Amino acid sequence: MKLTGSQILFKALHAEGVDTIFGYPGGSVIDLYDEMYRQEGIQHYLVRHEQGAVHAADGYARATGKTGVCLVTSGPGATNTVTGIANAYADSIPVVILTGQVPTHMIGKDAFQEVDITGITRPCTKHNFLVRTVEDLGRNIREAFHIARSGRPGPVLVDIPKDILQATLEEEKISMAVNLPAEPSRESIDGACAEAISLIKASRRPVIFVGGGILRGKAVSELRTFVDAVNAPVTASLMGLGAFPGTDPRWLGMLGMHGTYYANMAVSHSDLLIAVGVRFDDRVTSKVAEFAPNARIIHIDIDPVSINKIVKAHVSIISDCREALQRLNTMAGGRVLLSEDQTRDWLDQITKWKRAVPLGYCRSDKIKPQCVIEKLYELTKGQAIITTEVGQNQMWAAQFYHFDYPDTFISSGGLGTMGFGLPAAIGAQVAFPDRTVVDIAGDGSIQMNIQELATAVHYNLPVKVVILNNSFLGMVRQWQEMFYGKRYSQTHMKQTLDFVKLAEAFGAVGLRATKPEEVEDVLRKGLETPGVVMMDFQVEPEEQVYPMVSPGAALTDMKLGNLRQEAD
């Protein structure tokens, strides 16, 4: 029996266990969509913009740990995915992007809806393929999935010419065997782990700093055991939130530009920094020369490129985080590496820093955005999956929603993509239809992919959108206030848009709060209302995110606003 290219593609997707695709049809993939009409076992979600398809696949991947899949047509369909691909690349998220391409004989002839998408996405994919023959198709799809999820995960694009989808091949000639060069062999980590153990034992002021590698590497419980053995406080990058419980007394909160005072102080005064699954982003280190100046550094990461790229490691363990932590835990043998006595002074000092400058905000007669997040945390009992847009909304979500569980904070970390949160929430909601999924948004960023509200309503995905509406592009405005003499150049977004009516126009429910006393009721009602709900919280327009490390300054050099409670 002969199969068409389209049938082979679905065969490969079935073999990978794919049951969910986010996509948008078009001329080059019409054969594929025709085949989809007959296929069972795959649910396709028709987004309203191809960027939304990648973000949704990305959100789905982050929430489930599986590889997200999206499918778009050639030309503009393909170019619309580029921001989403770069976003998944920056945050190491496994996504496979299937793009249609004009027929092979038309390639290079400026055909209608032709674009060199493998050329365009080369720098922002882990790898990409232009499928050359129908014989290659099944194998290329399997290879794409293999590459996307192996090692440090990332997006892989497969560009498929239309004639290859239409071509046929005898079933027995279909090969799906992955044929890729072997990855470079790695040294044993035993020696480095032993060195790490002796550095830990010699330390008196240790800090454990975790990132997205713990979540991607599914090393949450191994981390817990390790923290027990080291008796050290734990901080995280934005990408690491949820890797360690936000309500644990050893939790320091986030590190970096908008990290907590005590996390920044602890890292800056530590004598040992154990960095696990992180890449020392500039939003974390700020001034590299003064980052953790007194600390020995143990760096565990799966990507050799991350080691010594920004911060020089004294001990480097190139490994999957789970494997490395398992090895370290085995070496510790169930005993503590540092006793409570040995770290007591250090932990006391940290408690003093925590008391001196806790996270907080001043109440006023206007709604405080931080208060909305606190109430949201209370009402959802910390059980919601939170996605965010980018900017102040994202930082307040990171600071005031205490993430106890892995894969519940879904945010655009590396690329900082406004418009990520809503489609990502759709992806997470598809994965977990019965959980509460909330997109915390700003009034600017929500408008960047607002069309996806239609997707949510279409598939009855009951996503809740919380807009912290300050009529500003708030984070840029904050920089303008602090560093550019309050010249608010092009950041005031006069909000003539009625978000309640907008929600209703999409077939969703819209709610609004304008006074502090309305916050709880609106949130409660919004969370209880079935279906898609968009809540417009009209907040203090010029609220700042504190603490803030000035760009390029040392982490100890923080602007604190009114946060300081007592001398430290």
Partner 1 sequence: MSMEEHTITILVKNEPGVLSRVAGVFSGRGYNIKTLCVAPTANPEISRITLTSNADADFTEKIKKQLDKLVDIVDVLDYTGERFLKREMMLLGLKITPGRHAEALQALNTLGCRIVAMRPDYYIIETSGSRSENDAVFQYFQTFDVEMMNRTGCIAIPLNPKNDPE
Catalytic residue among 257, 475, 493, 548: 475
For the four alpha carbons of 266, 267, 273 and 278, in that order, the dihedral sign comes to positive
Rg, Å, the chain Cα set: 24
Q: Does 456 bind partner 1 (CB under 8 A)?
A: no
Is residue 185 at the binding interface for partner 1, with CB under 8 A as the rule? Answer: no
Instruction: Determine if 279 is a binding residue for partner 1 (CB under 8 A).
Output: no
Pick left, alpha or beta for residue 485 (phi over 0 → left; psi -120 to 50 → alpha; otherwise beta). left
Distance of CA 39 to the CA centre of its chain: 31
CB of residue 304 to partner 1, shortest distance in Å: 5
CA–CA dist 300, 514 (Å, integer) = 47
Told to judge if 475 belongs to the known catalytic residues of this protein, a careful annotator would answer yes
Pick the binder of partner 1 from 127, 142, 216, 283 (CB under 8 A). 127
| Whether 535 contacts 466, CB under 8 Å | yes
CB of 309 to partner 1, least distance (A): 8
CA distance 220 to 201: 23
* CA–CA dist 78, 98 (Å, integer): 9
**Which of the ranges 5-13, 114-122, 399-407, 471-479 carries the binding residues for partner 1, by CB under 8 A?**
114-122
- Asked whether position 216 contacts partner 1 by CB under 8 A, the answer is no
Question: Residue length, the chain?
Answer: 568
Smallest gap, in angstroms, from Cβ of residue 127 to partner 1? 4
Task: Say whether 172 is catalytic.
Answer: no
CA dist., res. 293 & res. 308, Å (int): 15
Examine residue 178 and tell whether it contacts partner 1 (CB under 8 A): no
DSSP conformation class of 239: G
Which residue of 73, 74, 99, 118 would you call a contact of partner 1, by CB under 8 A?
A: 118
Pick from 130, 252, 395, 440 the residue near partner 1 by CB under 8 A.
130
309, 402, 435, 512: which one contacts partner 1 (CB under 8 A)? 309
Residues 23, 149, 297: CA angle, nearest 5 degrees: 130
Binder among 303, 404, 518, 568 for partner 1 (CB under 8 A) = 303
**Number of C-beta neighbours around residue 118 at 10 A:** 18
Is residue 318 within 8 A of residue 189, CB to CB? The reply is: yes
Under the binding rule (CB under 8 A), the answer on residue 147 touching partner 1 is: yes
Within 150-251, where are the H helices? 162-166, 190-202, 212-216, 220-230
Cβ contacts of residue 182 below 8 Å, gap of 6+? Answer: none
Kindly give the pairing relationship between strand 95-101 and strand 155-161: parallel
| Least CB distance to partner 1 at residue 524 (A) | 49
126 belongs to the binding site for partner 1 (CB under 8 A)? yes
Q: Which of 39, 66, 106, 113 is catalytic?
A: 113
Q: Which stretch binds partner 1 (CB under 8 A): 54-62, 199-207, 253-261, 299-307?
A: 299-307
Q: Would you tell me how many other CB atoms lie within 10 Å of the CB of residue 151? A: 13
DSSP classification of residue 306 = G
Min separation Cβ 221 and partner 1, Å: 29
Which of 122, 492 has the CB closer to partner 1?
Answer: 122
Question: Strands, DSSP E only, in 378-421?
Answer: 385-388, 409-410
Interacting span for partner 1 (CB under 8 A) from 21-29, 115-123, 319-327, 481-489: 115-123
* One residue of 41, 76, 108, 119 binding partner 1 per CB under 8 A: 119
Q: Does 123 bind partner 1 (CB under 8 A)?
A: yes
Q: Which residue among 2, 122, 201, 501 contacts partner 1 (CB under 8 A)?
A: 122
Which range in 301-309, 426-434, 445-453, 468-476 contacts partner 1 by CB under 8 A? 301-309
The span of 27-35, 86-94, 180-188, 417-425 binding partner 1 (CB under 8 A) equals: 180-188
Q: How many residues bind partner 1 (CB under 8 A)?
A: 17
| Using rule CB under 8 A, residue 305 touches partner 1 | yes
End-to-end alpha-carbon separation of the chain, Å? 77
Cross-strand bridge partners of residue 158: 98, 129
222 in active site: no
Q: Does the footprint of partner 1 cover residue 108 (CB under 8 A)? A: no
C-alpha 395/C-alpha 398 separation (Å) is 5
Least Cβ distance, residue 80 to partner 1 (angstroms): 22
If binding is defined by CB under 8 A, does position 181 make contact with partner 1?
yes
For residue 492 the two structure tokens come to 């005031």
Query: In what side-by-side order are the strands of the sheet with 409-410?
Result: 409-410, 385-388, 437-442, 464-469, 533-538, 509-513
Token pair 């713990």 in the structure block, residue: 214
* 186 makes contact with partner 1 (CB under 8 A): no
Q: Give residue 412's identity as a one-letter amino acid code.
A: S
The one catalytic residue in 11, 126, 162, 354 is: 162
Site map for partner 1, 506-535, x if CB under 8 A?
A: ------------------------------
CB of 108 to partner 1, least distance (A): 12
Catalytic annotation, pick one of 7, 16, 22, 50: 50
- Please give the residue ranges that form the binding site for partner 1 (CB under 8 A): 118-119, 122-123, 126-127, 130, 132, 147, 180-181, 184, 303-305, 308-309
Name the residues annotated as catalytic: 50, 112-113, 162, 475
